[in-house]
A and B are shown apart, each in its own frame.
Chain A
């Protein structure tokens, strides 16, 4: 199964700033999924990213706040824009290759102060 390297692993950011999270996959995956996990909660899908097309956002998430880049089948970025303390969460990227389970990056723990 694919291995996903995600960075940064954690960051503390000032409100009003932006943070870009990167995920690099060691093999090609067609779709990448970006999740947010608020403290003590389950995973919430932000958007699904396909190569060469605009990401598909879930209800409650908009491109201006969470712009996503997917330049090729092995790389994607998620930007958290104009951050507020409510954006403090773990952000995870995920992809699937073959018939095994979806692989996840190690997550980005974001704290907004």
Chain B
């Protein structure tokens, strides 16, 4: 069975600073994908970044990067130059390879960006 652990219920960061949101996972599957989503107070789920287990490079998407440490089974999200609009819930999820596999979700981290 797969499992995601997000140990930070809440985080604070000053505007323009970087912040790391932790995510560790457990899986026995050799091929899997890791996802990060942002959920603002409006409730929509916004896809941020994806890392495949066989990807050699850490994924990056604009101000988002994923610090993927496969041996430690961690997939931390790094947000650089935080903005007030980054205040939201952030969820980490894991799924098997392929397009039609369900995701297992962490409990989320609430990020507040202070001006």
Residues of A within 8 A of B (CB): 1, 30-31, 33, 41-43, 45, 48, 90, 92, 94, 96-104, 106-107, 109
Contacts and interface: CB of A to CB of B under 8 A. Distances in A.
Contact of A31 (B47, B100, B107): B100
A106 B105 contact: no
Contacts of B100: 30-31, 96
26 contacts: A1-B47, A31-B99, A33-B102, A33-B103, A41-B107, A42-B91, A42-B105, A42-B106, A42-B107, A42-B108, A43-B45, A45-B102, A92-B45, A94-B45, A97-B99, A99-B50, A99-B99, A101-B35, A101-B37, A101-B50, A102-B47, A104-B44, A104-B45, A106-B44, A107-B43, A109-B43
Given A45-B103, A48-B102, 18 more contacts: A1-B47, A30-B99, A33-B103, A42-B105, A43-B45, A43-B91, A92-B45, A94-B45, A96-B99, A99-B50, A99-B99, A100-B47, A100-B50, A101-B37, A101-B48, A102-B35, A104-B45, A109-B43
Chain A CB within 10 A, most for which of B47, B50, B91, B107: B47
Interface residues of B, number: 18
A23 B106 CA distance: 24
Nearest to B92: A42
Interface of B: 35, 37, 43-45, 47-50, 91, 99-100, 102-103, 105-108
Contact of A103 (B47, B48, B50): B47
Nearest to B35: A101
A101 B47 contact: yes
Contacts of B50: 99-101
Nearest to A97: B99
Nearest to B91: A42
Contacts of B45: 43, 92, 94, 104, 107
A97 B100 CA distance: 9
B102 to A, nearest CB: 6
Contacts of B105: 42-43
A48 B104 CA distance: 13
